[in-house]
Structure 1
């Protein structure tokens, strides 16, 4: 599986920027990963072309970590792009173009924090997939 994370705007908050960098390094041990930052939402779909598109949205499907793992296992061998909007969220066009709307939480998360949570969860499911005991039920 090849992963791509496409987010509107680079993280400005130090904790988010450092966390994303750290998890990107960790994820790279388990799967190819690209993290791309775009200026505006109009660029999200272009950067996700040729990938299965997972749109992160508060109206999306809620999964447990185990459910997220099963979802990704079903996409083995595919290219998967996770799309994160900016402070205003996603347009209806991006939502409709997605293969899956996924929510990270029923709470509204600041977009830089949502990016960091996504990166941690990707790392968590990839370590589970590899048989490592990172996740504790």
Structure 2
């Protein structure tokens, strides 16, 4: 699993949360967490992967719904792409395999990264047979 985000988290809560959930995820699956400077650098880091682009206009899932969707991609290389404050280039949005909304609200990009990692952790615990409502 690869997560590529524009900019490293600067806000302390986000930085600590990203570290925490990165460690938790790695107990269940390999995780590549990559940071780039600009949105135009996201696409090359996702080469050869299914592209799941975080976008507030994307498809909304429940945790279990996203789990089921990702089960359908099991065995494939997947890259989750988190844009910066400016969002994603339109060309990247168009070539995405999925535009994923974490909420109908606009989330600050560091918070979106943290929410994504928390949900990926929950999905991995579901796959391992744990109830998803417990961290």
Could you tell me which runs of 5 or more consecutive residues in structure 2 were left unpaired when the two chains were aligned. Answer: none
What SS is found at the alignment partner of 1:18? Answer: helix
Matched residues in 2 for 1:80 and 1:73: separation? 11
Q: Which residue of 1 aligns with 2:46?
A: 48
* Correspondence for 2:26 among 18, 25, 28: 28
**Alignment partners' CA distance in 1, 2:92 and 2:39:** 8
Please list every run of 5 or more consecutive structure 1 residues that lacks an aligned counterpart in the other structure: none
TM-score, normalising length: structure 2? 0.97
Cα deviation, residue 94, structure 1: 1.1
Superposition pairs of residues 21-100 of structure 1, within 5 angstroms: 21-100=19-98
What is the TM-score with the length of structure 1 in the denominator? 0.95
- Matched residues in 2 for 1:34 and 1:21: separation? 12
Instruction: Please tell me whether the aligned partners of residues 128 and 135 of structure 1 are also in contact (alpha carbons under 8 angstroms).
Output: no
Moved more, 113-122 or 126-135: 126-135
Considering only aligned residues, what root-mean-square deviation do their CA atoms show, in Å?
A: 0.9
How many residues end up aligned between the 2 structures? 134
Equivalent pair of 2:40/2:89 in contact (CA under 8 Å): no
- Deviations along 1:79-136, one digit per CA (max 9) or x if unpaired, are 1100010001111011012110000000000000000000000000110110012426
Structure 1: 4+ residue segments shifted above 4 A = none
Residue matched to 1:111: 109
Match of 1:120 in 2: 118
